Structure formats: C-alpha cells, structure tokens
Amino acid sequence: MRTLPVTALAALLLAGATVPAASAESAASAERGGARWNGAWTAAVQRPSTNFYPNWSEEGFENHSVRQVLRVSADGGDLRIRVSNAYGTTSLRLTGASVARAGDGAAVKPGTVRTVRFEGAASVTVPAGAKAVSDTVRLPVKAGERLTVTLYFAAATGPATYHDLAQGISYRASGDHLRDTGAGAYTETSRSWYHLEGVEVAGAPTRRAVVTFGDSITDGYGATPGADDRYPDQLSRRLAAAGTPRPVLNLGIGGNRVLNDSACFGEKATARFERDVLNQPRVGTVVVLEGTNDLLFGYADPKYFPCAVPNTKVTAAQLIEGHRTLIRAAHAEGIRAVGGTMIPVKGSKTDVLQYPAEAFDEIEAVRDEVNDWIRTSGEYDAVVDFDRALADPAPGRSDLLNPDYDFGDGVHPNAAGYEAMARAVDLNAL
C-alpha cells in the first residue's frame, strides 16, 4: 500500500484520479502496465488553461484530427497508447486513433500507419476523470525514434486535458485525417499535447525507467522546439551511448511547485507524485528537481501574474518536508530517489513576477539552505548537483546562471545548459 499522506491522496483524487472505463483496461492494470510493458514516452497531464503560450485546451475539439509528434526512449516490437480525460467534466468520445513513424512536420512515413483500437473497437468513450489504454499495436520502434499519434474527435470534446509545455509541434486538421501520410490537411499548429498521456512498448529487454520529475526546467522551457534537447532527452542519449539504455520519462510541468497547487501549473508535487511517478510502468529511479517556483511565486504580484496564486512565501523547512514526502513515497514502492539541487535564479528577468528589490537575497538564502540539505543530509539515495553544474563560474557570481547556459531570462537553461545538466548526472547513481 502506498504511503502518500492523506492530504496528498485527497488532493490527487480531487484532481481526477483514474477510474475504470468500460472500454479501457482496469485502472490497476492500466496504471501499473503489467510486467510486459515499459514506458517509452509520457507527459504529465494538466487541467485546461491559458499558460506559457496560446493553446487549444480551453476550446477543445470538434470534427478535428490532432496529430502529435513525440520521441520514444525505449525499444519495442509492440506498443500501446494511453488517452487521458483526467480533467474532463463529461465523457470524452474518441472517434478514432492511429500511430505511425514520423516524417517531416505533420507528415508520416508511408506504410507505417496503424489503426489503434480499444477492446477491438475503433472508438472509445473515456469517462470524466479516467483514462483509456489501447489494444496492442504491432509497430516495432527503437529508442530515439519519433512517432506521431493522431486522435480524431468527431463530436465536441469540451475543454481538453493537455500538457502545455511540449516544446514540440502538434498539428490540427478539420475532418478525419487519421490515415493521411501527407501534411497538407494539417494547417494549424500548437506547442502543446492533448489527451495523450503515454506510449508504452513491449517485446524487447528493457531496464527499469528513470522518471525525471519537476518544473519547467525538467519540462524543457528554453530547449529548441522540436529538437528533443531537454535535459531528460540528453540523459537518455547519454545512457544509450554508455551501453546502458533505459527509458527516461519526462514528468515535468512548467510552473509546478512542491507545496501549492496552481490553476495553470498543475497540482503540487506531493499531490501528483502518485499519478505521475508511481503509476508509470516499471519505474526504477526518480530524479526530483522541484522548489524553484515555490520560492519565486511567493514574491509574485497576482495583479501581474494570477497563475502564481496562492503567492505564499515558503521556508526552507517547509520545502525540505515536501521533499521528504516525495522520498518516502518513492521508497515505499521500492523506487530509488535522486535529489537535484535547484539552479541559480538571482538573475531572473521574468517581468511578470514583479519582484521587490530585496526578494532575491531572501530567495537565495532559502535556496542555499535547501540545496545544502539535498547535498549533505543523505536522505536522497543520490544527488545531482545541477546548481554547481550551471552556476556562473566567475568569482562572486555563483547565484547567477552561467551566461553560456542562459536561455535569456536568467532562470531557464538553453540547449547547452540542458546538455550540462545531463552530463552532471552520475549514471551509476541511477
């Protein structure tokens, strides 16, 4: 039995826990995946909202095909997909789905399009708050390969469960274009993923997955759109190059916090940890990088940044206790917990936060205290010192990002910074 605190479990259930659907596998089988299945790609789902950039989540879909491009991190001869209606208020009718090897843009490679079925049927109805897991699809894939998953919604969906910060391109077409190999019908684009929660593979020996859990720095804000150069992507490549390939699943949510929910940026880490980490198939290790937004949002002015509500200042002791909750939950399931130190933020140029002048000294004092605990307490099974890997090496500037690694806002790494983060991980610690 899992040991998340009652408050965390209650928050998870209120957020829309998985329940069995008539046309889906049982919740236990769907979430655990069974010994046969390995996670190859996943995204942490969020409630519909206006967020980092314009998206289609609040309007939803009607007579639309939505083609989504993703990169898998595990080999397999068979695959299946997970479709989420976690934040739907009514049942979701998925009229049809297909999967194929990705081509350029919205195009797919001819001869690779496969129809996705659910208990033998082309369509599935997913109740509000639930997910559906597809039947097995025979399509061999290799780690690092790009796939497209296309979902067709004939009837109006209402607001769509989604993942905002995809750092990739999704495509939309009017009408049923599930089996199109060309890109011509897909005239609209978005930088988010919709209703697609995961891809699992089977049929090849695979080590247990590494889940990277965190906020926008794990999610990949500042990475190159469509290039798959976030730190989890680059960690996956490092593992493969070292001869120890294993799935790396990115469960970051931009703006996420350890201790407070957000209407825009997902439930707090302690509330979503069970769904987003423990319920992935065959997880061996979780790398936690969380807390930056707890510090920054506490000084945000809601007039300029309503997504920061509640803008509560937090102490180091409170953040540390939040991390301990995550460690206990991971260990209760036999999962190795690796702590990532928070990277410097003193050079933040994020205007919407409207910080008072004294804020950064206070923020840095708490960040330093929490980072010292992560490094020295021994409560995490291992540590990745992202802070020291990305800090400005110039004397007296360790509270600032290295300019070579700065995306431009003083908070988020660029592609080179994400590569440095991946290099900072001791592969043996995983």
CA–CA gap between residue 288 and residue 44 (Å, rounded): 14
DSSP 8-class letter at 89: S
Tokens read off for 372: 């010292």
CA–CA gap between residue 234 and residue 315 (Å, rounded): 33
Domain spanning 207-429: CATH 3.40.50.1110: yes
Q: How far is CA 226 from CA 32, 230, 336, in A?
A: 30, 10, 30
Domain limits, CATH 3.40.50.1110, in the chain: 207-429
CA–CA gap between residue 385 and residue 426 (Å, rounded): 10
| Stated pTM of the model | 0.91
Each residue of 223-276: pLDDT tens digit?
999 999 999 999 999 999 999 999 999 999 999 999 999 989 999 999 999 999
Q: In whole numbers, what is the pLDDT of the chain averaged over residues?
A: 90
Angle at 54 between CA 261 and CA 164, to 5 degrees: 45
Backbone angles phi, psi at 67, to 5 degrees: -105, 125
3-state helix, strand, coil in the chain (%, to 5): 25, 25, 50
Q: How confident is the model at residue 35 (pLDDT cuts 50, 70, 90)?
A: low
* Helix axes of 415-424 and 231-241: crossing angle, nearest 10 degrees: 50
What three-state secondary structure class fits 40? strand
CB 420 within 8 A of CB 389: yes
- Concatenating the DSSP letter of every residue in 365-386 gives HHHHHHHHHHHHS--SSEEE-H
Q: How confident is the model at residue 206 (pLDDT cuts 50, 70, 90)?
A: confident
CA–CA gap between residue 158 and residue 160 (Å, rounded): 6
Residues above pLDDT 90, as percent of the chain: 82
